[in-house]
Chain A
Amino acid sequence: MSETLPVAAFWILALASLGGAVAMMATRNVVHAAFWLLEVMLATAGIYLLLSAEFLALVQVLVYAGAVAVLTLFTVMLTLRRREDAVREFPVAWGSMAIASLFTGGILLVLARFRPALAQVPETIPGVEAFGEQMFTTWALPFELASIVLLAALVGAVWWTGGEDL
């Protein structure tokens, strides 16, 4: 009971995220692809939660599944004038497929050859409180820099869209 339930949850979430990624690449409609991306993000949040990284799961749901997915859909709706534009035929890119297969094969080969030690989940998992302490002391500067990055994105978007005149 204590082992099978998390393992089952992991397999469900892993298959959901991989299957969603495959479906995202396979669909020819850009809007459908955006929704599949949302599904992959939510499944990944579930995997984070399974690893007891609750804050990361929260960020994944609120920021990625919440905000970034909205941004993706906005971008699609901004750039496509007609419904028909969202559906694209795509030719099978054999060259890219070969390179991707070689890359995946290489990684699997290295993993099989060197067998890196699997990381163990620690006995006690630090909670959000410990995380906050670390973030606001050791990582105070990167935290403040993050606001500068967000500011740059916001100012850039306002400038790019022309503010008043548009």
Chain B
Amino acid sequence: MQSPAFDHLVVGAFLLFGVVFVAVTVFASNLLSPKGKDEPNRLEPYECGVEPVGPPWVQFRVGYYVYALLFVVFDIETVFLYPWAVSFNKMGLFVLTEMTIFIAILAAGLAYAWKEGALRWR
């Protein structure tokens, strides 16, 4: 285990790398992109190099909200798995049952969404 100061330096280095990476990328794309007011594509939204189709603003189907919420639910579960895994060796069977119940309750929600057809892609 390293000292917290060292850990923070690692986080700081990551942060610095992230900022520098974005700055270099934006600068490079600014350098490479065509200039001038007459350029027709200047104000076009960038869509990974493909010609954009339709307006960039679309109203989502309400069904997608379930996907977002499923993501939130299982994201929280994943976060709880982290301290669970760390303390697993010490606690053994007790925490295993606890986490099994937790996941089973969430799985019931997933099964309900599946049964209702909310997971069908449309």
Chain A residues with CB under 8 Å of chain B are 2, 6, 9, 49-50, 52, 55, 58-59, 62-63, 66-68, 70-71, 74-75, 77-78, 80-83, 86, 125, 128-129, 131-133, 135-137, 140, 143-144, 146-148, 150-151, 153-155, 157-159, 161-164, 166
Contacts and interface: CB of A to CB of B under 8 A. Distances in A.
Given A70-B71, A81-B59, A82-B57, A154 B90 contact: no
A132 B86 CA distance: 7
Contacts of B86: 128-129, 132
Interface residues of B, number: 52
B79 interface: yes
A96 to B, nearest CB: 30
B28 interface: no
B81 to A, nearest CB: 10
Given A49-B11, A62-B78, A70-B68, A154 B83 contact: no
B79 A161 contact: no
Contacts of A81: 59
B117 interface: yes
Interface of B: 4-5, 8, 11-12, 55-66, 68-73, 75-80, 82-84, 86-87, 90-91, 94-95, 98, 101-102, 105-106, 108-110, 112-113, 116-118, 120
B59 A77 contact: yes
Contacts of A162: 62
Nearest to A77: B60
A83 B57 contact: yes
B76 A78 contact: no
Given A63-B76, A67-B75, A164-B117, A154 B69 contact: yes
Contacts of A49: 8, 11
Contacts of B73: 150, 153-154
Contacts of B57: 82-83, 86
Closest 5 pairs (CB-CB, A-B)? A163-B116, A132-B87, A132-B83, A164-B117, A154-B109
Instruction: Determine the main DSSP class of A at the interface with B.
Output: helix
Given A144-B102, A150-B76, A157-B65, A74 B109 contact: no
Contacts of A140: 98
Given A83-B56, A128-B83, A161-B118, 17 more contacts: A55-B82, A55-B83, A63-B75, A68-B72, A70-B72, A77-B58, A86-B57, A132-B83, A132-B95, A133-B87, A136-B87, A147-B106, A148-B105, A150-B109, A151-B106, A154-B73, A157-B69
Contact of B90 (A70, A129, A131, A143): A129
